[in-house]
Structure 1
Amino acid sequence: MAHLLGAEQLRVEYPTRVVLEGVTVGIGDGDRIGVVGRNGDGKSTLLRILAGLQEPDDGRVTRRRGVTLGMLDQTDDLGTGRTVIDTVVGDRDEHEWAGDANVRDVLAGLIADIPGSTLVDDLSGGQRRRVALAALLSHEWDIVVLDEPTNHLDIGGVAWLAEHLKRRWPRGQGALLVVTHDRWFLDEISEDTWEVHDRIVEPFEGGYAAYVLQRMERDRQASTMEAKRQNLMKKELAWLRRGAPARTAKPKFRIEAANALIADVPPLRNTVELAQMATSRLGKDVIDLLDVGVSYGDTEILRDVEWRIAPGERTGILGINGAGKSTLLKLIDGSLKPTTGRVKRGKTVVVATLDQQLGDLSAVAHQRVSAVIAEKRTTYVTGGKELTPGQLLERMGFTSAQLSTPVKDLSGGQKRRLQLLLILLDEPNVLIMDEPTNDMDTDMLAAIEDLLDSWPGTLVVVSHDRYLLERVTDNQYAILNGRLRHLPGGVDEYLRIAASAAAPTGSQDAGRATVASVTEAGGASATTAPVSRLSGAEKRNAEKELAAAERKIAKLQGQVDALHVQLAEHDPADYAGMGALHEQVRGLESQLATVETRWLELGELLA
Structure 2
Amino acid sequence: MTHDRWFLDAVCTRTWEVHDGGVDQYDGGYAAYVLARAERARTAATTEEKRQNLLRKELAWLRRGAPARTSKPRFRIDAANALIADEPPPRDRMELARMATARLGKDVLDVEDVTLAFGDKVLLDDVTWRLGPGDRIGVVGVNGAGKTTLLRLLAGRLAPTSGRVKRGKTVAVAELRQDVEDLDDLADLRVVEVVEREKRSVVVGGKELTASQLVERLGFPRDRARTPVRDLSGGERRRLQLLRLLVGEPNVLLLDEPTNDLDTDTLAALEDLLDGWPGTLVVVSHDRYLLERVCDRQVALLGDAKLRDLPGGVEQYLELRHAAGEAQPPAATSPAADSPVPGDAVAAAGPTQAEVRAARKEIARIERRLSRIADLEKDLHAKMAAQATDHQAVLALDAELRTLAAEKGELEAAWLEAAETAG
* Fold agreement, TM-score > 0.5: yes
User: How far apart are 1:468 and its partner, in Å?
Assistant: 0.6
Give the aligned CA root-mean-square deviation in angstroms: 2.3
Alignment of 1:236-247 (within 5 A): none
Q: Which amino acid aligns with 2:142?
A: I
Alignment of 1:126-205 (within 5 A): 179-205=1-27
2:311 pairs, out of 483, 488, 491, with 488
1:365 pairs, out of 178, 183, 187, with 187
Matched, 1:466 2:285: no
User: How far apart are 1:328 and its partner, in Å?
Assistant: 1.0
Q: Is the 8 A contact 1:431 1:457 kept in 2?
A: yes
Where 2:293 maps in the other structure, the secondary structure is helix
Distance change >3 Å, CA 284–CA 198, structure 1 → 2: same
**Distance in structure 1 (CA, Å) of the matches to 2:26 and 2:275:** 28
2:321 pairs, out of 498, 511, 516, with 498
Residue aligning to 1:406 = 228
Residue aligning to 1:516 = 349
Deviations 1:78-126 (A, max 9, x none): xxxxxxxxxxxxxxxxxxxxxxxxxxxxxxxxxxxxxxxxxxxxxxxxx
Distance change >3 Å, CA 187–CA 294, structure 1 → 2: same
Where 1:257 maps in the other structure, the secondary structure is helix
Matched, 1:390 2:223: no
Distance change >3 Å, CA 226–CA 310, structure 1 → 2: closer
Distance change >3 Å, CA 342–CA 217, structure 1 → 2: same
Distance change >3 Å, CA 517–CA 375, structure 1 → 2: closer
Residue aligning to 2:377 = none
User: How far apart are 1:200 and its partner, in Å?
Assistant: 3.4
User: How far apart are 1:363 and its partner, in Å?
Assistant: 2.1
User: How far apart are 1:369 and its partner, in Å?
Assistant: 1.8
Where 1:278 maps in the other structure, the secondary structure is helix
**Distance in structure 2 (CA, Å) of the matches to 1:419 and 1:504:** 42
Q: Which amino acid aligns with 1:479?
A: L
User: How far apart are 1:226 and its partner, in Å?
Assistant: 9.9
User: How far apart are 1:515 and its partner, in Å?
Assistant: 4.3
User: How far apart are 1:353 and its partner, in Å?
Assistant: 0.5
Matched, 1:333 2:155: yes
Where 2:169 maps in the other structure, the secondary structure is coil
Q: Is the 8 A contact 1:220 1:226 kept in 2?
A: no
Q: Which amino acid aligns with 1:364?
A: L
Residue aligning to 1:169 = none
User: How far apart are 1:431 and its partner, in Å?
Assistant: 0.4
1:421 pairs, out of 229, 232, 243, with 243
Structure 1 gap ranges (5+): 1-178, 228-252, 508-513, 520-607
Distance change >3 Å, CA 254–CA 489, structure 1 → 2: closer
**Distance in structure 2 (CA, Å) of the matches to 1:462 and 1:504:** 27
Structure 2 gap ranges (5+): 50-74, 331-346, 353-423
2:267 pairs, out of 423, 445, 457, with 445
**Distance in structure 2 (CA, Å) of the matches to 1:504 and 1:337:** 35
Deviations 1:466-514 (A, max 9, x none): 111111111110112111000111111111111112224476xxxxxx9
**Distance in structure 2 (CA, Å) of the matches to 1:417 and 1:496:** 33
Q: Which amino acid aligns with 1:323?
A: A
Q: Which amino acid aligns with 2:350?
A: S
Deviations 1:162-205 (A, max 9, x none): xxxxxxxxxxxxxxxxx211101111112222222334332212
Q: TM-score normalized by structure 1?
A: 0.49
Distance change >3 Å, CA 394–CA 281, structure 1 → 2: same
**Distance in structure 2 (CA, Å) of the matches to 1:278 and 1:518:** 40
Relative contact order higher in (CA < 8 Å, ≥ 6 apart): 2
User: How far apart are 1:360 and its partner, in Å?
Assistant: 3.0
Matched, 1:315 2:148: no
User: How far apart are 1:223 and its partner, in Å?
Assistant: 2.4
**Distance in structure 1 (CA, Å) of the matches to 2:244 and 2:350:** 41
Equivalent pairs, count: 311
Distance change >3 Å, CA 223–CA 506, structure 1 → 2: farther
